[in-house]
Amino acid sequence: MSTFSGTMRCSSTVGVNIGVLALQGNVSEHIHAFRQALTGMGLAESSRVDTLRHPDEIGALDAIAIPGGESTTISRLIIKNRMYDPLASFSGGIFATCAGMVLMATGVDDPRVATLGLMEMDVTRNAFGRQKESFEADIQIKGLDKPFHALFIRAPVATRTGPAVSVTGRIDAGFVALEQGKHMALAFHPELGNDYRLHERFIKNLI
């Protein structure tokens, strides 16, 4: 299997439109990270990264990022803003981090979260306790030639996956990096560092 080791240059004629769900969480950080990744791939001029706040914006997007935050709050705001059905039926790729990973699951340990059911996995919220239990770790991710320095903040883990899901990263507590089709779910916050390899890999899978 080939190893994805870093920046990939693409044809400038290729472009993607990415919306960052702007209901809660690290919205500006995700926008910055995707723009940096697109620049490194030679796609910045032909692509667009912006906030996503209205359901009628979803149809024009190739990809959506669901940031971390409080999964019960984001779930409630998705429903309040009439975004649940458009997100659950979205045909593009979704890049989900932390609370976003919880929302992607088919099963979660909190009935207050209306998951989108887009990835065949069961997820445990706040698997490591309160925010003071946040930690950093170097994670080996399948397809990356060097470990990824990951920041976990009130992070979830996946405890079960279906056959369609590829587990690309794990720690003792469970699965922390997963892919299914065009979707990528991460228990940690790659947008808070300067390593854009996972953003680039996600974009590569779109084009």
Please give the positions annotated as active site: 98, 189, 191
Gap between the Cα atoms of 54 and 34, Å rounded = 20
Q: Give the span between the Cα atoms of 164 and 68, in whole angstroms.
A: 24
3-state DSSP assignment of residue 89:
coil
Where would I find the beta strands (DSSP E) of the chain?
17-21, 48-52, 63-66, 93-97, 105-108, 119-124, 135-139, 148-152, 157-161, 166-171, 174-180, 183-186
The rounded distance, in Å, linking the Cα atoms of 35 and 110 is 34
Q: How many helices (H) and strands (E) does the chain have?
A: 5, 12
